Amino acid sequence: MTCRVPLCLLLRLRPIGLALRGVFVVVLVLSSASTTFAQVNLSGVWDNLGILHEDWPDRLFGPELGDYGGVPLTDAARLRADTWDASLITLPEYQCRVHPSDYAPSFAGFRVWEERDRDSQQLIAIHIHHFAWGTERTIWMDGRPHPPDWALHTAMGFSTGKWDGDVLTVYTTHFKEGWIRRNGIPRSDRATVVEHFIRHADGLTLMTVISDPVYLTEPMVRSREYEYLIGGQIPPYPCEPVEEIVRPKGVIPHHLPGTNPFLNEFADKHGLPHDAARGGGETMYPGYKGGAAPAHPGPAGPVNPLKIDDVHVLPVVPGTFMVVGPNGGNVTVQVGKDGVLVVDTQAANVTQKVLAEIRKLSDVPIRYIVNTSYSRDFTGGNEAIRKAGSTITGGNVAGDIQDAAVGAQILAHDNVLKRMTSIAPSAWPTSTYLSDQKKLFFNGEGIDILHQPAAHTDGDSIVFFRRSDVISTGDIFTTTSYPVIDVAAGGTINGVIDALNRLVDMIIPVYGQEGGTLVVPGHGRLSDFGDVLNFREMTIIVRDRVQDMIKKGMTLEQVKAARPTRDYDPLFGSGDKFVEAVYQTLKKGN
């Protein structure tokens, strides 16, 4: 059932009976009380197979294409849904994409169990195992804070809970992008979710309130009912992707705006006005009398962008860390017995803070700096961080290394050096490579430095820590903006897509689109496979839209006026610079 909160509560109370109403009132009265132990125990298997009539079209097989009714979506969300193609899930990398925790309970049942401290029996966490994709989530009950903005997002998100009387209320942040409905209606990674688990004897009501400032004009409420299964079991849910359709690398099935022929099938089949099926907050309410919903363009700029107030360190895996700051790109730091290796050095004005954080991690010498590009927000700290380190050298090698043992060695592609000649030589790379790869073995692991030509620039490098299974991408991949294409420095849209395809090939997730290889982006939060896929999908879709407009003979100004990025602008801000770079490089055949 999808409805407003007060209406849902009334519907839940209506069939229960007078005595239970009194119990519910007591629950509400007790909601402000602080309880040491839960009033109820939710442990066990909860199933919905006998009551799947509730919102049936939105369960199991999924809703029909074009059915957006009752969803308070923005214009941007509607465009994303209109251009979504179900063939997307035939791609191997999408086939095992798991349902996010705000949707997984709609699909099937789940098992709940508690984790308690052995001695005090205080409740530490409540764990849930979903039948759908076999995913598991943890609801922390011990009062711990949510992670910082730049921490990893997952399909399950990060959840904390509290007891409001006998009602378990859960607050979840740090979601990956998901969906409101499986017909293309998106739910962004900026969303937050509040859930209320309400047990009544052998029944359970789960009320989910989704707040998404990017793709919803107001919170959306979804409720689901479950039955307790005595002796119930949750079977395994393995998934192994296969190649269903042979396609060229990097093809993303989608419809160009205005070309989806299936959008009115749902309304026509059920005799509904087309406007009623198009969604919008107005279609949620009983007073809706038809007609197109007013425009809801959504915010002009990025919603809830990453907020970084100072330089901070985030552990990635043991021995590897991500340093974020208010200025400049992310820094990857690897520490070990051989010394410290640093990927990129942020902007010059935060160098001393970056150095201080590195020294908190290790006091061994900084041996290597790797620059992923020449951009000053990645190389601004080169000079100072190099001076703080030293190079191991000797024998007949000493004459081949600039300044020999003085300072850390700065590694980069040769094109980076060529584009840094206007700044102080003390910040230049001291060792460059000309081929497509440079290899190191440092701190007990192999490190691949891979040249990616004509992407963000013509000198980009991807740094792959092979044992740690961590990739540092530079500005080939970010979570905070559209791709940054420096056309004057040899960057191209197809080069960016080639680089993203390469990342997709390199990353191995644990299951679905998560875990396994972790990715430190040029800017933004720690990421993994799913984040790179979402970014690649957006990049290819926008490229294809601009390419189609070029084929129609449209000028750059006409293309920009058509706003081919308008469904992604609430995530990344204005797409004008990105569209201009895409247009320019496509016109040149790049």
Please report which confidence band the pLDDT of residue 282 belongs to, taking 50, 70 and 90 as the band edges: confident
pLDDT attached to residue 405: 62
In degrees, rounded to 5, the angle at the alpha carbon of residue 435 between the alpha carbons of residues 432 and 438 is 60
Per-residue pLDDT at 375 exceeds 70: yes
Strand ordering across the sheet containing 470-472? 437-442, 445-452, 460-465, 470-472, 518-520
Q: What is the mean pLDDT of residues 472-499?
A: 96
Whether this model's pTM surpasses 0.85: yes
Per-residue pLDDT at 3 exceeds 50: no
d(CA 394, CA 335): 23
Please report which confidence band the pLDDT of residue 99 belongs to, taking 50, 70 and 90 as the band edges: very high
pLDDT attached to residue 17: 36
Please report which confidence band the pLDDT of residue 48 belongs to, taking 50, 70 and 90 as the band edges: confident
Model confidence over 217-257: pLDDT tens digits?
999 999 999 999 998 999 999 999 999 999 998 899 999 99
Per-residue pLDDT at 304 exceeds 90: no
pLDDT attached to residue 396: 55
Model confidence over 414-456: pLDDT tens digits?
999 999 988 999 999 999 999 999 999 999 999 999 999 999 9
Average pLDDT, the chain: 89
Model confidence over 77-90: pLDDT tens digits?
999 999 999 999 99
Lowest mean pLDDT segment, chosen from 13-22, 192-201, 314-323: 13-22
In degrees, rounded to 5, the angle at the alpha carbon of residue 220 between the alpha carbons of residues 219 and 222 is 145
Handedness of CA 67, 71, 73, 77 (dihedral sign): negative
Per-residue pLDDT at 305 exceeds 80: no
Lowest mean pLDDT segment, chosen from 167-171, 324-328, 366-370: 324-328
Q: What is the mean pLDDT of residues 135-163?
A: 97
pLDDT attached to residue 393: 66
Residues in the chain: 590
Per-residue pLDDT at 400 exceeds 60: no
d(CA 71, CA 52): 20
Q: What is the DSSP string of 456-487?
A: SSSSEEEEEETTTTEEE-GGGS-SSSS----G
Query: Which of 435, 446, 418 is CA-nearest to residue 341?
Result: 446
d(CA 379, CA 434): 19
d(CA 585, CA 590): 5
Model confidence over 521-556: pLDDT tens digits?
999 999 999 999 999 999 999 999 999 999 999 999
Please report which confidence band the pLDDT of residue 589 belongs to, taking 50, 70 and 90 as the band edges: confident
Residue linked to tokens 């119930």: 232
What Cα–Cα distance (Å) separates residue 466 from each residue in 20, 174, 316, 462? 59, 27, 14, 12
Per-residue pLDDT at 300 exceeds 50: yes
Q: What is the mean pLDDT of residues 64-80?
A: 94
Per-residue pLDDT at 19 exceeds 50: no
Q: What is the mean pLDDT of residues 130-145?
A: 95
Q: What is the mean pLDDT of residues 567-583?
A: 96
Q: What is the mean pLDDT of residues 35-41?
A: 64
Burial of 433 (0-12, 13-18, 19+ CB in 10 A): middle
Q: Is 132 helix (H, G, I), strand (E, B) or coil?
A: helix
Model confidence over 182-225: pLDDT tens digits?
999 999 999 999 999 999 999 999 999 999 999 999 999 999 99
Please report which confidence band the pLDDT of residue 302 belongs to, taking 50, 70 and 90 as the band edges: confident
9 Cβ neighbours under 8 A, 6+ residues apart: none
Domains recognised in the chain with CATH numbers: 5-56+70-231+280-284 (2.40.128.20), 312-587 (3.60.15.10)
